[in-house]
Amino acid sequence: MLKQFLKWRLSGLIVLAFITLSIPFLMDNPFYFDMATQIAIVASTVVGLNLLVGYAGQISLGHAAFFGLGAYFSAIATSRFGWPSVIALFTGAAFVGLLAWIIGRPILRLKGHYLSMATLAVGFIIAIIINNQSGWTGGPDGMSVPPLGIFGWELSTFSVYKIFGFELQGYVAWYLFSIVVLLLAVLVAQNIVDSPVGRALRSIHGSEIAARTVGVDTARYKSLVFVISAVYASVMGSLFAHFTGFITPAIADFDHSILLITMVVLGGMASPMGVILGAVVLKLLPQFLTGFQDYETMIFGLILMLTMIFMPKGLLPTMIRILKSRLGARAGGDA
């Protein structure tokens, strides 16, 4: 029974839903919920990035730029032009998707370090534009963003909602909303992976030559997954902007890109639950390292290095392997 459940392709999703939805019963502190919501949003971004990095084996060192573009698109469209949030979010995602396709087509011909450099440059350029267009974006001072409006409802962390006679704090409502988004993000990603499209993407990672030989249009699939992961980042950027209510160019910069990619590598490439764990660990770590703030980047670098050396498959896959071999040894001993 348990074995069958673990073999099911959505078992991870069910476990994730169970853990995340039990959290509101365990804590009641607005700051914790703020943290948890931020983690859920960034985890959804990383789930999308994992399709590109973990499954298709391509790298993007500028992914925060797409996150930032989505955030600023929503912020500008809603605050300056009065667009409804949902329409701004989807238009932003379409715009970022198109941009990713235009950029991805030429640069995804590059491999390895060259692709890293190209995506790095794209990230820098977009971050600089956001920083310098202060007339639109407020420049380094950032800009404020109105709360998220969903079909007449306004989701704000400061409101109190009444549902079926229960009082629901705004920050709890935001948390629950972000969890629904995260679960949807995982479901969509998992469905893509478990399809012919996903198999083609993984074959590009495994052997591009083999993929081309059996007819996979590798250039097209690389562009496709680049666009998908950029759209993930854009949507989550939009939600992040509405959630925090204030954004600065830091969300689009190099450090943020590195943080995203570190989450994928640390958590476990090609493991959706793994990269979510990576997001949780790397978002919570600074909270425990407040005394060492000056050394934060150094510690991140060290973590990345040690992961690559000792757990190249990442945190979660390594943990599962150790657990399995322990269980296997015990079962063998019993028999």
Partner 1 sequence: MSAMIEVSGLDKTFGGVHAIEGLSFTVDEGQVYSVIGPNGAGKTTLFNLITGFYTPTRGDIRLNGEDVVGLDPNRLAQRGMCRTFQQMQVCMNMTALENVMLGRHLKLRGNLLSSVLRLPSLRQQERDCRDRARALMEFVGCGDYVDADAASLSYGVLKRLEIARALAAEPRILLLDEPAAGLNGTETAQLDELIRKVAEQGVTVMLVEHDMKLVMGISDRLLVINYGRKLAEGTPDEVRNNPDVIAAYLGN
Q: Name the residues that contact partner 1, by CB under 8 A.
A: 188, 191-192, 194-200, 202-203, 205-207, 209-218, 224, 228, 270
Nearer to partner 1, 193 or 261 (CB): 193
Nearest approach, Cβ of 229 to partner 1 (angstroms)? Answer: 13
Nearest approach, Cβ of 141 to partner 1 (angstroms)? Answer: 39
DSSP secondary structure letters along 319-330 = HHHHHHHHHHHH
Nearest approach, Cβ of 56 to partner 1 (angstroms)? Answer: 11
Q: What is the 3-state secondary structure (H, E, C) of 127-181?
A: HHHHHHCHHHHCHHHCEECCCEEECCEEECCCCEEEECCEEEEHHHHHHHHHHHH
Nearer to partner 1, 156 or 203 (CB): 203
Which are the contacts of 221, defined by CB distance < 8 A and separation ≥ 6?
56, 197, 200, 201, 204
The span from the CA of 178 to the CA of 35, in Å, is: 11
Nearer to partner 1, 80 or 324 (CB): 324
Nearer to partner 1, 199 or 245 (CB): 199
Q: Is 246 helix (H, G, I), strand (E, B) or coil?
A: strand
Nearer to partner 1, 210 or 284 (CB): 210
In b/e form, how buried is each residue of 263-292, taking b as 16+ CB within 10 angstroms? bbbbbbbbbbbbbbbbbbbbbeeeeeeeee
Token duo for residue 28:
């009641």
Nearest approach, Cβ of 224 to partner 1 (angstroms)? Answer: 7
Nearest approach, Cβ of 12 to partner 1 (angstroms)? Answer: 16
Nearest approach, Cβ of 183 to partner 1 (angstroms)? Answer: 14
Nearer to partner 1, 159 or 190 (CB): 190
